[in-house]
Structure 1
Amino acid sequence: MASPKASALLFLLKLAGKLSLQSAQRIGRVLGTLLWFIPGKPRQVTNINLEICLPELSANQRKQLARSSLRHTGQTMMEIPLMWEWPVERCLDLIREVDGEELLTQARADGKGLILLAPHLGNWELAGLYFSSRYKMAALYSPPHMPEFEDYMIRVRGRMGSELVRGDRRGLARLIGLLREGEVAGILPDQSPRGKGNAYAPFFGMEVRTMTLVAKLMQKSGATALMTYAERLKDSQGFRLVIRPCEPGMADDDPVVATTALNKSVENCVREIPEQYQWEYKRMRHRPPGQPNPYKPGRVCQ
């Protein structure tokens, strides 16, 4: 039986899933505006990240971007229940255009596996749903803190047959196997990974710990990688699905070369619509040992 906390969360998700896109986005913008006016962690982290990553902007430009980012993050929060509770066809109808379809066609023409890298940009849940509706696809995920919530998450994300695999050794082996068979894998590439086996590479000019998983998958399977995101259109008009090429070198044997290319590929996408990136995430929290922790003044990274 689910805990009271899990039951309450599922109830709220299902309730929010009854909203229209316009209503959900309107509520999300209000929530994001509140996050801007309340001097809490989301606003603080957003400001720090923008100062680090976009120093070329003026103080006023960063202020406006921070406010816009929080509003978009609020919209993303309210859109996720729609992506999980709406019928798949209704979700896919929100995609008004696909930019970069020729890259997808080219990548699939040789019969090799395809790795789709979807940063925390725009609505990544819709991007995943779109590709799982077209291909046999597996997506990497981290188990939620509430075990009762995991079954629900697997069910709704797998409505089109997408397979969710844990980010452990067994999950890695499963992804390699699927990619060798010419299938598709989805990964969120801009997370701050834990543990050993990763590398430090520049992200918007700052050395941060970066996953080597993508390079390992490409090396072991021969798969191609592409970037993708679902851009939120104005006035609740829907979304534009965007596919972009990756920087060369992502499969390099040198982990620093490979992760540098990965971060640059993410950065290229973020620069296209920076207001829709999740700047509220502490992407810079894992730096080389001894380097200052940007989120904790006076402390260094271990």
Structure 2
Amino acid sequence: MKTIKGMLAILALGITALLPLRWAQGLGRRLGRYFYRQGDSSRVYRTTRVNLLTCFPELSDQQQQQLIQQSLEQTGQSIAEMGMSWLWPVKRTLKVIRRVHNEALITEGIAKGKGVILIAPHLGNWEILNLYLSNRYTFTAMYKPPRQKQMDNLIKRMRARLGTDMAPANVQGVRKVMKALKRSEMVGILPDQEPDVGSGVFADFFGTPALTMSLLPQLAAQTGATVICGYAKRLDNAEGFDIYFSEAEADIALKDIVLATAAMNRSVECCVRELPAQYQWEYKRFNSRPEGAARVY
């Protein structure tokens, strides 16, 4: 069954890769509207709704529904863009990047000699961000391998087209990341998914405790690397993407892991507030709960 799912996913990627960006995004918006019309019968809708109610309780019912629909349309576009991100020729894909903001944070960090850690939330199109960075820097990206082997092979091959070194989220991957930072290179970590049991602590995210990886703050404390945030914003009317970099909170390098992970989550939250509709709200970020706390989902 996993093999069949993997083959179907690759087939879908191939089909969407044949489409111009405008058509692919239009298809993605329609997919998102389908999820929205399904309401609570759709897991994607339910999870998005609960996450937005949890993180933005100050919004009115009308504002909540508007953001839910916008988020699902953006999620659909992220799915439909994967063919473009992975299968288009590299030069063609890079042409969809329009402007890059605050890239000096990277070059200044590398010049300090202790490497750069990129916090890359699931915001906008992170595959475009990866491609841009690997085209300009020696870049190591940590990732969690998917269950389907065909998809894992495709991910490693496509993300490594410009030399990105892929580091799996295990002991061997951590060693690879440490070596890259010692060489004053850049590493990228997506920090906003639940870690394995024993690999994280609870820290507030939009005011709600979320099981949060401790690896990134530990790397920052051990290496003294510069920590920045980055994301690729999807522009309206299929105009492409703008890439943004910003400084992470300094407390992310504290040895107190509770304070450090809280600073990391605030750094992610700051990015998400700039672009709330383009965040991956369909993921169950608050699935694990502190002892005695009520379930969110």
Q: TM-score, normalised by structure 2?
A: 0.96
Quote how far apart the aligned CAs of 1:110 are: 1.4
Could you list the runs of 5+ residues in structure 2 that have no partner in the other structure? none
Q: Please state how far the C-alpha of 1:46 moved relative to its aligned partner.
A: 1.0
Q: What SS does the corresponding residue of 2:267 show, helix, strand or coil? A: helix
What does the per-residue CA deviation read over 1:233-292, in whole Å, with 9 as the maximum and x for residues that have no partner? Answer: 110000110001111210111111000000000000000010111111110111212211
Matches of residues 49-198 of structure 1 in structure 2 within 5 Å? 49-198=51-200
- 2:38 counterpart letter in structure 1: I
Cα distance in 1, alignment partners of residues 87 and 228 from structure 2 = 28
**Displacement after TM superposition at 1:131 (Å):** 0.5
Q: 1:48 to 1:8 in 2, by over 3 A?
A: closer
Cross-structure match for 2:37? 37
- Once structures 1 and 2 are overlaid, which stretch shifts more, 154-163 or 106-115? 106-115
> How far 1:67 sits from its partner (Å)?
0.4
Given that residues 110 and 186 in structure 2 are in contact (C-alpha distance below 8 angstroms), is that contact kept between their aligned partners in structure 1?
Answer: no
Within-5 A mapping of 1:203-282: 203-282=205-284
**Is the 2:110–2:185 Cα contact (8 Å) retained in structure 1?**
no
Deviates more, 1:220-229 or 1:105-114: 105-114
- What amino acid does structure 2 have at the position aligned with 1:156? M
1:5 aligns with 2:5: yes
Partner of 2:295: 293
- One-letter identity of the residue aligned with 2:229: M
The structural deviation recorded for 1:101 is 2.0
How far apart are the structure 1 equivalents of 2:47 and 2:3? 31
Tell me, yes or no, if structure 1 residue 14 matches structure 2 residue 44: no
| Structure 2 residue matching 1:202: 3-state secondary structure | strand
Correspondence for 1:300: none
Taking the aligned partners of 1:48 and 1:256, their CA distance within structure 2 comes to 25
Amino acid at match of 1:215: P
Deviations 1:130-163 (A, max 9, x none): 1011111111111111123221111011000001
SS at match of 1:242: strand
Partner Cα distance (1:197, 1:91) in 2: 35
**How many Å separate the matches in 2 of 1:131 and 1:154?**
16
Query: Aligned equivalents of 2:44 and 2:5: distance in 1?
Result: 23
The letter of the residue matching 1:213 is: L
Cα deviation, residue 197, structure 1: 3.3
Match of 1:299 in 2: none
Checking the alignment, whether the CA contact within 8 Å between 1:131 and 1:137 is kept in structure 2 is yes
Q: Measure, in 2, the Cα distance between the counterparts of 1:279 and 1:43.
A: 9
Residue 180 of structure 1 contacts residue 223 of structure 1 at CA under 8 Å; is this kept in 2? Answer: no
Deviation at 1:77, TM superposition (A): 0.3
Give the equivalent residue in structure 1 for 2:24: 24
User: Contact (CA 8 Å) 2:105, 2:247: kept in 1 or not?
Assistant: yes
Structure 1 segments unaligned to the other structure (5+ residues): 296-302
* 1:187-224 Cα distance to aligned partner (Å, 9 max, x none): 11111112103111100001111000111111222211
Structure 2 SS opposite 1:143 = coil
1:184 counterpart letter in structure 2: M
Aligned partners of 2:211 and 2:289 also within 8 Å = yes
- Matched letter for residue 73 of structure 2: R
Letter in 1 for 2:35: L
- Does the 8 Å CA contact 2:209/2:290 hold for their aligned counterparts? yes
> Could you tell me how far 1:109 is from its partner in structure 2?
2.5
Q: Which amino acid aligns with 1:132?
A: S
Query: Could you give the per-residue CA deviations for residues 162-185 of structure 1, whole angstroms, max 9, x where no partner exists?
Result: 011110111101100111110111
Equivalent pairs counted in the alignment come to: 294
TM-score (norm 1): 0.94
Choose between structure 1 and 2: higher helix proportion.
2
**8 Å CA contact retained: 2:205, 2:269:** yes
**Do the aligned partners of 2:120 and 2:188 also contact (CA within 8 Å) in 1?**
yes
